[in-house]
Structure formats: structure tokens, C-alpha cells
Chain A
Amino acid sequence: MGTLNIIMTGIGGQGIILASDVIAEAAMVQGLDVKKTDSIGMAQRGGSVISHLRLGNIVNSPLIAEGDADILLGMEKLEAARAVIFLKEGGVALVNNYAVSPSYSKDGIKKYPDDNAVSKIIGFRTEKIHFVEGLKAARSLGNMRAMNIYLLGALSNYLPLTSDAWLISLKSRLPEKHLNVNLKAFKQGQKEANCAGIG
């Protein structure tokens, strides 16, 4: 296979790095070559986070060139819009229906884009935009922290990875005491996205 390039983005604390580790581990389990790299801003929490992940037979650069990502998973809407520069024409954008306004100061801050604006920005690159209800799902699962794995489930519909590989990876990367809720979140995400025609 050629390389499949995935950009995942959102804000600190959402578990983006963990989610991309899970994909990478699953790809490795399946015998694929994989590279990933995370750019985290200065702040421990609250800043933008972006993770580049590439899998295939041979992967050289861990960084994805602008306009070269097959899939964009935005765990937060503003960050999804910001990262669209990486998406290729006609790529797939999965956008979590979750908005966190940047902090502070009434002066000089630009307005948080509404859903139409986000769709329009992503629309410059692709028509394949899917909003995913990660926040609702996490609330119903009773664990906000499972949001990332729910979204990973939705994303899994696009990835050439077997359910065995996913399971091994989820087990090895997630802490044991949170494993069950996360497995549930993963399956739910996969199924709900599938039903919504995503994938």
C-alpha cells in the first residue's frame, strides 16, 4: 500500500497523543511501517495539539506536508479548521462537535467560528465533512475522557486495520482500569459513525 496520512488535532488534555499512539501501535501490530509525531504548544493544558501519523509499507518523514493528509480528525472545531491546511483536496474531515473558546481578553480577540464557518473553511479543501457527536457520546458514557477513543472508533472506519490489531493496541496503550469504558466507546464510535454513513 502507499502511505496513509492522518492529521489529528484538538486541544491539550483531550487525549490526542494517546489516540494517535493507539493507531500507530495497531498499525505496527499489523506489520505495517508507521511513524508519528506530535506538536504540542508550550502549555500543558489548553493549547493547540496536533499529531501527524503516517502508515504504509515504508514511511520516511513523520511529518505530513501541507495538502497531503488523507484524513483530518478534529477533536475540537476551531482546531479542525486551523489544521485544514494539511488536508488534501477531497480528503476526509471528521470533526467533533465540540467547541472550546480560547481564553481571555475582550479586546482584540477574533470571533470563534460557528459551524457554518468551520464547514466553509474545511469546504475549501473537501466536501467530505462529517460532524461527529463525541461530546454527547462521552457524556452518555459518563466519562469525558473516553471522547478521544469514541472518535477513534469513528475514524477506524477509514483505516485498513483489523479489529484484532485495534484490540491489542487499545489493551496495551490504555490503563487497565479505564479499559472497559474505552472499549465500549471505541465500538460505539465505530458503529454510530458507520450508521451515519461515515466510512
Chain B
Amino acid sequence: MEKRKNPDQVTRLLSGNEAMALGAYHAGVKVATAYPGTPSTEILENIARFQNVYAEWSTNEKVALEVAMGASYTGARALTGMKHVGLNVAADPLMSASITGVKGGFVIVTADDPGMHSSQNEQDSRHYARLAKIPCLEPYDSQSAYNFMIKAFEISEMFDTPVLFRSTTRISHSKSVVRIYSDALNGSTQPGFIRQPEKYVMLPVFARARHPVIEKRIDKIKEYALDCSFNEVIPGNTKTGVISSSIAFQYAREVFLDASFLRLGMTYPLSENLIRKFASGVEKLIVIEELDPFLEEMIRSMGVEVTGKAFIPVTGELAPGVVARLARDHGLEVRYEKEQGELHEVELPARPPSMCPGCPHRGIFFVLARLSKRRKMLTANEKNTTNEPGVIITGDIGCYTLGAYPPLSAMDTCACMGAGIGQALGMEKAGLEDSLIAVIGDSTFMHSGMTSLADAIYNQSKITIIILDNMTTGMTGHQGHPGTGVSASGRQATQVKIEDVVRSMGVNRVEVLDAFDMENLRRAIKSAIDCEELSVLIVRGDCAPVRPRSHASRVVLAESCTRCHNCLKLACSAIHDDDGRVIINSDFCAGDNCGVCEQVCLSGAINIKGRTV
């Protein structure tokens, strides 16, 4: 590949994700794949805007990693991006990519979510680097995200290894100033696959020979870590030495103003010599890291005395004030005099996340919530009286998970993407008498619902599966998936039709329903739970924010309103209760497109503004 000329001093304000995308582009990435997931989504969205890079939304993270792995085998530089839980889905090919190694530089970005801003768990994905015996890089701002990304491809090729590039919500979603190189590396190498079964065909006989190779590889990277440009010592006083990485470094830097710092950009593997050298120059060694004591435990196992998680929590997101307070409480010298300021406790109404006005998921959840078998079961549950069968709704992940919140309360489980169908099947096979309904979004169905549907069909299940098809990946901001027929770069693509998939797999009872037709939804669900056959209902309606809004808002006719408040049970943020009087906010109402509130009103008091009754 041709060498970069004079790096130009152009500065830009970039988020961590934008910086990673630009870094990858400037490193000559040729194939980029991802499945969306907060906070990682914008990496691929940004790469998809560059010329001469192939970018795709993959069906799920496992596929995404495999596609990028294949590209790397041809000598092309390849990147795959995902959120932390996505790496769990892709863990199998990750381990294999480690053992085969790469040809073109191969970077796997995982974005963790400390504090669980929008995730179902709070894992520290750095452990995967250790598990897979591959290097882990952690940027600490957008500039380092850009620089490290370029370097990541280089070390991947240098050591014949995939590189785990670990971000977090605050790295991905913070913006800061980045000096960029104006010229992209021209990634025009001709792809070529050289047959090398002993490297690429992991039959036991070949894999056995590869294992010592990857052990030697990690040892070599350890040596490299001693004075590589990812790690930096920032000299300060000799009293306190702080080892830190990622965003935690920025907090520590504010809290321990005069301390010496070892900022680690490569957090796996660690160079023992580097750590010892730094530790020997300071009286007290502390590690400040978010989530698990990943660095701390490795350092302690070197026999170096260190503290960190003795006062920094392993749960939740850190913040500068949090680090300051806990360090001070632990008796450490903290030069951070900011007023924490007590506030008088005032109870303010919460603003819980809710489905958008006009959301196609609202109607179906209202119907589910009000099925008489479910209502009886819920009230009975409170009093613990009856054993009559009710309705259990297993759920999945997406905007529709908001249906679990009151007042809808129409979801009973939510574990990980694609789990709902399997869970319903398990409950059925365990002998539960209740009706079982699994709800799953269209993107989630493509991601990991198809395999469990095959399981249900094969194993003679009689559950009801509702696919909530808003024709996009709503939760993460409207990305394409195979069912949408739109590619990552916005071009038309071959659509995988959900109803065709379901029918061809062997489901006979398949219905496609309009998400805004309440009467029909009610009928279809009742008949599906009453019949002794596996049913799939596809509830289809446009995702509200991507649909042009009609300006005809609905209004409540005060004289007809009996204040039954049925409409409030829809949890629509356009409808609110003003001391018993119901008001529809015309700035928010989705207007003509929805009309669910009009259909649930018992007294005909909701109408379109100006429409004659």
C-alpha cells in the first residue's frame, strides 16, 4: 500500500464513532460490516458515506464478523462494528478469527455501554481480548480513536491477528477536536486468496498446530507493548501513580491533578516491564477503570501492589464527580474542589421513554394488554387466587420493549435479541397451560428469530408469534435489514420478505395485519390464541418518525368526553391528562396516520380537527 504523505493539519469536530470511521477510511478499509446497536451504530453509518468502501448492514453480528473475516483473508483491510452484546453473538467466529489470523488488517470494534444507557446488560468486553488472545485497543477521545484506528490495521497485519477495538458510550458519543490527515491511504490492493489450509481450514489437525502460533503471537505483542505509541507515561509527582484507560483516564486526569499517569491505549496484553517501571517510580499505584478490574487484576497478578476497585465501583458509569468523591472518601489526595452542592429533594415527574406518537407498536400492545384472559390473570396474580390459564407474552428487544412499561404492561420477558420465541416454546414444553405469545420486531426476527421459528415449527409448537414489522430497525435509528430492501448506503437491495420466509419454512397460519386497525388486530389475536396451531401474525405499519407527518391532529371533544381515560392507557406522549381533562397536543399528534386513540375511545369523543362528525 502506498505511504501517506505529509499529514495535513485539518481540524474537525468529531464524535468517537465518526473519528473511528474516518480513521478506518484513511487506513484504506475496503470492507466494513455491522449490525446496528447503540452506541456503535454511527461507525458504519459514517463509513457507508465514503466512496470505494463496501459497507453493509449484516443480518446479525456473527454474520458481520464472518463477512469481514472473509474480506481480510483476501488481503483487503476489513472492519466490523457492533455493540458489546453483539460481540457475544459473534463470539464463535471471533475465536476462530483469532486462531486463523488474518491477511488484510482486521479490526473488530465493540462499544460497551457502562451505565446501560440503552442496553440489557453491562459487560466489560475487554475480557474477550484475553479470551481470544488478541490485542485490545482503547481510545480515550476522538483524536485517539482516529489515530488508533489507523494503527490498528497496521498491527493487525504486523502480528497476523484480529484487533479488538473497544469503545464505550462516552467515547463513541462524545465529540472533540480531531486533527486529521487529508489524504486517505489508497486501499486499491488487488484481492487475492492464497490457499493455505493449515492457516484457514481449522480441522483439529491444523488447529492444533495453530494454537502455539497464537500463544507466541501474544508474547510478541507483549514485547511490543513496552514502548508502542498506544501507551504513554505523563510524568507528575512521585506520590501517586495512576494507570487508566478510555474515558476513565479523562476523569482521573481531572481528579488527580498532580499525579503521574500511565495512560494505556493497549489494554491487552500488558507489558510487565512497562507496568513495573511505572510502579517503581511512585509511592502509591492506583488504577481507575470503568466496569471490571481488568487492568487491576492483571497488574496485581504481576505481584505489583495496586488499588482501584477498593473504592471505584464495578457497576455503572463513572463521572468526574464520582471518581473525586470516592477517592477522597478512600483517603486519597484529590485536588478537585468542585462544589458537589446538596439540593433540596424535589420530586419531579419522570419522563420515561415511550413509543412515539403514531408508533405502529402501540395498538397491538393495547390489544394484548386488554385480552380478557390476561386481565383476569393479572388481577388474580395480585390477590393470588385463581389458577385459570392466562396469557403470557414473551418479548424481545427493540422499541416495542417499551410495551413492558405501565400502563401497557404487556410483556413478561426480555432477555436478548431473538430469545422470545425460544422462551415461549420452552414454557409450552414445560407444560404451561396459559396461551403463549412471542412478540418480536422485524429486524430482530432477521437477526435471530428465524432459527428459533424453525425450532418451533420442527418441534410441533402451538404458540402465537407476532412479528412487529415497522419495516426498519427503529430502536437504533432506522437502519436497513434484509427485510427492508434498502442497503446500508441507501440503495435498493433485494428484499427478503418476512411472510415468504415464514410460509416457506412451513407455517400454515400466517396473517399480515394493518398495525392501525384495532378491530382486526383484536380479532386476529383472539383467533390465533384460541386455535391449536402455530400462528404467525405480521403486524405491519410504518415507523412514525420516518413517515411524513400529516398535520391533521386529533382533538378531544370536551362535551362528549366521559373521562373514562381509556385513551391515556395507550401511553401516547401526545395525549395527557390536565386535571382530569384529556388534551391532545397537536404539535406531537401523528394525525391521520394513526387514529388508534379514536378507535379506543368509548364515547366517540376523539376526532380529527375540523372533520364533521
Contacts and interface: CB of A to CB of B under 8 A. Distances in A.
A38 B176 CA distance: 12
B407 A67 contact: no
A35 B407 contact: no
Given A68-B339, A106-B568, A38 B346 contact: no
Contacts of A136: none
B175 A41 contact: no
Interface residues of B, number: 64
B568 to A, nearest CB: 6
A144 interface: yes
Interface residues of A, number: 56
A104 B362 CA distance: 13
A102 B320 contact: no
B565 interface: yes
A65 B320 contact: yes
Nearest to B253: A60
B70 to A, nearest CB: 34
B46 interface: no
Looking at A48, A62, A124, the one whose CB has the most chain B CB atoms below 10 A away is A62
Nearest to B322: A65
Given A42-B402, A46-B356, A110-B349, A67 B339 contact: yes
Given A61-B320, A144-B587, A43 B402 contact: yes
Interface in A114-151: 117, 121, 124-125, 144
B117 A39 contact: yes
B573 A103 contact: yes
Interface of A is mostly: loop
A47 B565 contact: no
B189 interface: no
Interface string B345-368: 011111111111100000000000
A88 B341 CA distance: 7
A44 B175 contact: no
Given A67-B338, A113-B348, A124-B343, A104 B568 contact: yes
Contacts of A36: 174-176
A37 interface: yes
A103 B354 contact: yes
A105 B571 contact: yes
Contact of B545 (A33, A44, A125): A44
Contact of A66 (B173, B340, B357, B575): B340
Contacts of A104: 354, 407, 568-573, 575-577
Contact of B578 (A28, A59, A101, A102): A101
Interface in A134-174: 144
A65 B344 contact: no
A23 B161 CA distance: 41
Interface of B is mostly: loop
A24 B353 CA distance: 27
A48 to B, nearest CB: 5
A66 B354 contact: no
Contacts of A33: 176-177
A39 B116 CA distance: 11
A106 B251 contact: no
A65 B338 contact: yes
A41 B169 CA distance: 13
A62 B173 CA distance: 10
A78 B349 contact: yes
B167 to A, nearest CB: 13
B170 interface: yes
Contacts of A81: 346, 348
A89 interface: yes
Contact of A46 (B173, B177, B353): B353
A66 B338 CA distance: 9
B417 to A, nearest CB: 15
Contacts of B320: 61, 63-65
A63 B571 CA distance: 32
A111 B349 contact: yes
Nearest to B571: A104
A34 interface: yes
B437 interface: no
Interface string A90-115: 00000000001111111001111100
A62 B250 contact: yes
A36 B16 CA distance: 11
A111 B350 CA distance: 10
B291 interface: no
Given A34-B176, A81-B348, A21 B118 contact: no
B585 A38 contact: no
Closest 10 CB pairs of A and B: A67-B341, A65-B321, A43-B353, A103-B573, A42-B353, A37-B174, A62-B174, A110-B349, A46-B573, A101-B576
Given A28-B13, A47-B352, A125-B341, 10 more contacts: A39-B117, A44-B477, A64-B320, A68-B339, A81-B348, A85-B341, A105-B407, A110-B347, A110-B349, A113-B346
Interface of A: 11, 21, 24-25, 28, 33-48, 59-68, 78-79, 81-82, 84-85, 88-89, 100-106, 109-113, 117, 121, 124-125, 144
